[in-house]
Structure 1
Amino acid sequence: MKKSGSHIRFAGLVLVSLGAYFLLGYALERSQTGWVLATFGLLFVQYILMLRSSWDTTIKLQWGIAAAVIFRLLFLFSVPELSDDIFRFIWDGNLFVNGINPFAHTPSALKESASLSIVSDHLYQQLNSPDYYSVYPPVCQYIFGFSAWIFGGELLGNVVTIRLFVIGVELGTIWLLKKLLKYYGLNSSYLLIYALNPLIIVELSGNLHFEAVMIFFLVLSLYFFVIHQKLWALISFVIAVNVKLIPLLLVPYLLFSLSRKQALWLTGVLGGGTILLHMPFLDPSFFQNFGDSLGLYFQTFEFNASLYYVIRWVGMQVVGYNIIQFAGPTLAAVSTALIFGISWKLRDRSLKNIPLVFLITLTAYYLFSTTVHPWYISSLLVFMPLTGMLYPVAWSVVIPLSYVTYATADYTENLWLVAVEYLLLAVVIGLDYYRTEKKAKPRLQWLMQEKE
């Protein structure tokens, strides 16, 4: 009877969550921030209750994985409303399959030249950055191109194709995470911390952010490293880097940890693989255009930052204007130095420290960044079950507060909410690192309400 009651309670939590995910996928727009935040809040309540359900671990894992798959599939025919990046995916894909280099032309330049008839005016109007060159690395472009090859500029067809790919790699990540938890001597049920996290489900399978693809290849790389298949590990790592550049943060740790011969292999495979993947896009303007786009990230874009906003305020008091063009690159340089220091201190021949190093270095990078969108921290959450650090989960709970920005037509941030987000995060980080003598297992057991 007790077991039956656990099933019923868990099923009830799943049904309530399905209703909330349906609202985010099919009913709400990001400008409806009150409803968006309330729905996220409800989802996180259900999430914590599901994690802390008291019943047989094996059955809990089976039901949890089934729920994680159902939640993702619910979004299958949903056009993302909380993000408009999908329109740039379709734009880039259509350029690629029609022989136009998406890194060589801005959408606005193509529009003004009146030479573009392969993409509709309606799609152009939906682009959020028509004056910027594409910033999506080649692996993304191949996926965009495959989808466009099948469906052209048709919105729903592209959405479903890309989402099936994203859900596929998400399920692959969950499968790999189960194997890695066993390797690290942790309970397989801890993968539910990632698999059922509402931010992960909404931002990756729902809003189609390609962190999902990067995470899969990064976790695959770690898996190959721990089973001593270093060549496959390096190949997977190269693919991850060419989906999103974030895994480059691990390069100093790998160089410090590997033997000289292996470090040379890493450098050669990373360099050669990156050039090979970029071959269809290389032209004289590629490096300048891509560099300009990255420069905009550090010197122009501002969103949901922490340390940078404090420095920006001080700069306004001292010089009377926004000092982002100086502060952005300076903070990036400081975080780079910090990342090298962390990587050197935690270097390890066995490479078992990869999850912890990536967690710490990526956290440092984001705390020094000028822009931190909600989906960015998905990369922290995937390694959280392997480290026992609780702050990525806490951050996933509070970072949806940044959606309040979209309540206004000019996207004005509420800096009080930003302060609340980072103050709460600082408290949990402090608790995590204050109790460093505690290993991963006790903290994970507390979150999952499990006993030895």
Structure 2
Amino acid sequence: MPFWKLNKVSLLLTFVSFFLYWLFAYDLVRTESIKLITLYCSVFLVFLLLLKYAKNNIKLLTAIAFSSRAVFILAIPNLSQDFYRFIWDGRMILEGLNPYLYTPESFIQAGSNFPVAEAKALYAGMGELNGSHYTNYPPINQLCFLISALFSSHSILGSTIMLRLLIVAADFGTFFFGKRLLEQLNIPVKNIFWYILNPFIIIELTGNLHFEGVMIFFLIWSLYLLHTGQWKLAAVVFGLSISVKLIPLLFLPLMFKWFFSTSSTTKNGLSRLIGFYSIIGITIILLFTPFFSLEFVNNYSQTVALWFTNFEFNASIYYLAREIGYWYTGYNEIAVIGKILPILVFLCIIGLALFRRKIDTKILFVNMLFAFSFYLFLSTTVHPWYIATLLILSVFTNYKFPLVWSFVIILSYLAYRHLNKADKSENLWIITLEYLIVYVVFIWEVFFSSRFQKNKKANSIELAKS
């Protein structure tokens, strides 16, 4: 029977998804809330139907996943402005300037001698808030920006295409090593499509050019190497992951028990753990060295600190704490709350690291999933693309709440429903709806689902006996 007859439903769904992605990429403004939600719900429904009708056809699903990314190739991101800063930083390095030492605003205010091509357009695109702060993107991220500048130093579209190709290449890497790791762990390979085919990933990473995809590629590659016993190379690759985004730093304490559990002796486990941490540290230091200066340290630390004590967006527990602060003091206590919440995150991660006597790679993934969940639940700022890391970790577990979150996270974009860009006030009822759904699924899966499955299995055994 011809291929198209065997897969006619899947192919029809594929063409529908391509059309929806095209509308998303080329015919959508983020202030068009109804259109945004309608398109996203539609493409997510098609995604679920594709998984239903083509779940065992790995080659077809792979082709659909990466063909969908190709739809966005000529699109300028319409849901995020961050890529303008990426282009600016890359062109700064191309001109021999350290992007960590200057803000775009400082050059714009000077009014002449702009260091990069299209400086005014890039500054207008990134916005005053982004342009007034020093860059916080680590060195491997900066390398990607530089590659984009080398490819196209005078065209925003040209730079955008190169950034997009780098992210798609990283997705290929995530698919390759993720699939192999799933096989190693005896987990169904089709699980990888919860990530690689997910509209959230395609839109946020390929479409909106967020480099979580590159960080995730190095993270999954590192964990694959770690599982296969190549811990020294795994440490180097883990360092590369941190040097794209700092998020993997959260997972380092969780490695403690893994090394002791997978080593023949305690002494051997300790030596490998110290070696692993040391190689990661050396890798990161070497990558930051070209940019290093005392001014860099000051600028970078201050910029990173802003995410905990100044910025707030789409939070959950923090918003509750903020309201309590308003009730007691009458004003926003983010400066205080933002310092307490990271301590709570650290304590949660240490608790996870010490919770079990022995762990294997599967349990390591579960611990990483919970660690990052606690981080997001306690954060002052949860941009949609942050969920990408949670989603890839869930692929290696039985938990589906990150998949649910990847759907409802679109509600956070309703903060941009106003034509006036300065007005990004959030509707707290919408944020409440988002997190109510996420927390209900999370609590069900963590506290009730396994118990329900055990009872169901026990009842089945009893029925079989009777």
- TM-score between the two structures when normalised by the length of structure 2: 0.90
Q: Which of the two has higher C-alpha Rg?
A: 2
Distance between the aligned counterparts of 2:6 and 2:370, measured in 1? Answer: 37
Matched residue of 2:328: which SS? helix
Q: Distance in 2 between matches of 1:83 and 1:37?
A: 16
- Separation in 1, partners of 2:18, 2:250: 36
CA contact (8 A) 2:167 2:211 kept: yes
Aligned to 1:168: 169
Q: C-alpha separation between the residues in 2 aligned to 1:295 and 1:84?
A: 21
Question: Aligned match of 2:393 in 383, 392, 396?
Answer: 383
- 1:389-421 CA-partner distances (Å, limit 9, x unpaired): 010110011010001000122111111010000
Structure 1 residues 231-262: Cα deviation after superposition (integer angstroms, max 9, x where no partner): 11111100000100111111101134322111
Partner of 2:404: 394
CA-to-aligned-CA distance 1:89-148 (integer Å, 9 cap, x gap): 110001111111111111112333444242322222112311100011000101101111
Query: Where does 1:234-245 land on structure 2 (aligned, <5 Å)?
Result: 234-245=235-246
CA contact (8 A) 2:170 2:217 kept: yes
1:33-75 Cα deviation digits (max 9, x unpaired): 211111000011111111122x6x54x2221111001101111
Write the mapping of 1:139-288 to structure 2, written as runs, cut at 5 A.
Answer: 139-258=140-259, 259-288=269-298
Instruction: Name 2:459's counterpart in structure 1.
Output: none
Query: 1:124 — aligned with what?
Result: 123
**Residue of structure 1 aligned with 2:65, choices 51, 65, 68:** 68
Name the counterpart of 1:450.
none
Q: Which of the numbers 308, 331, 337 marks the counterpart of 1:327? A: 337
> Matches of 1:122 and 1:269 in 2, distance apart?
41
Find the residue that maps to 2:395 and give its secondary structure: helix
Cα distance in 2 for partners of 1:424, 1:153 equals 45
Q: Contact 2:362–2:396 at 8 Å: present in 1 too? A: no
Cross-structure match for 1:83: 80
- RMSD, matched Cα: 1.8
Contact 2:215-2:244 within 8 A present in 1 as well: yes
1:20 shift after superposition: 1.0
Q: How far apart in 2 are the matches of 1:344 and 1:438?
A: 27
User: What residue number does 1:436 align with?
Assistant: 450
Identity percentage over the alignment?
Answer: 34
| In 2: Cα distance, 1:117 partner to 1:103 partner | 14
Report deviation, 1:210.
0.3
Looking at structure 1, the residues matched to 405 and 332 of structure 2 have their Cα atoms a distance apart, in angstroms, of 27
Between the two structures, name the one with larger relative contact order (CA 8 Å, sep ≥ 6).
1
Are residues 438 and 104 of structure 1, via their aligned partners in 2, closer, same or farther at CA, if it must alter by over 3 Å?
Answer: farther
User: Could you list the per-position Cα deviations for residues 361-408 of structure 1 after superposition, in whole angstroms to 9, with x for gaps in the alignment?
Assistant: 000000000010111000111121210101011001101000100012
Distance 2:82 2:371 in 1: 26
Residue number in structure 2 paired with 1:298 = 308
1:351 offset after TM fit, Å?
3.8
**Corresponding residue for 1:23?**
23
The reply to whether residue 420 of structure 1 matches residue 446 of structure 2 is no
Aligned residues of 2:175 and 2:196 also touching (Cα < 8 A)? yes
Match of 1:32 in 2: 32
Q: Give the distance between the partners of 1:122 and 1:203, measured in 2 at CA.
A: 23
The residue aligned with 2:346 is 336
Provide the secondary structure at the position in 2 that maps to 1:286.
helix
**How many residues are aligned here?**
437
Contact kept, 8 Å, 2:103 with 2:134, in 1: the verdict is: yes
1:348 Cα offset (Å):
4.0
Contact 2:100 2:291 in 1 (8 A): yes
Q: What SS is found at the alignment partner of 1:76?
A: coil
Contact 2:362/2:397 (<8 A) preserved = no
Alignment check: 8 A CA contact 1:166 1:204 kept: yes
Deviation (angstroms), 1:354: 2.6
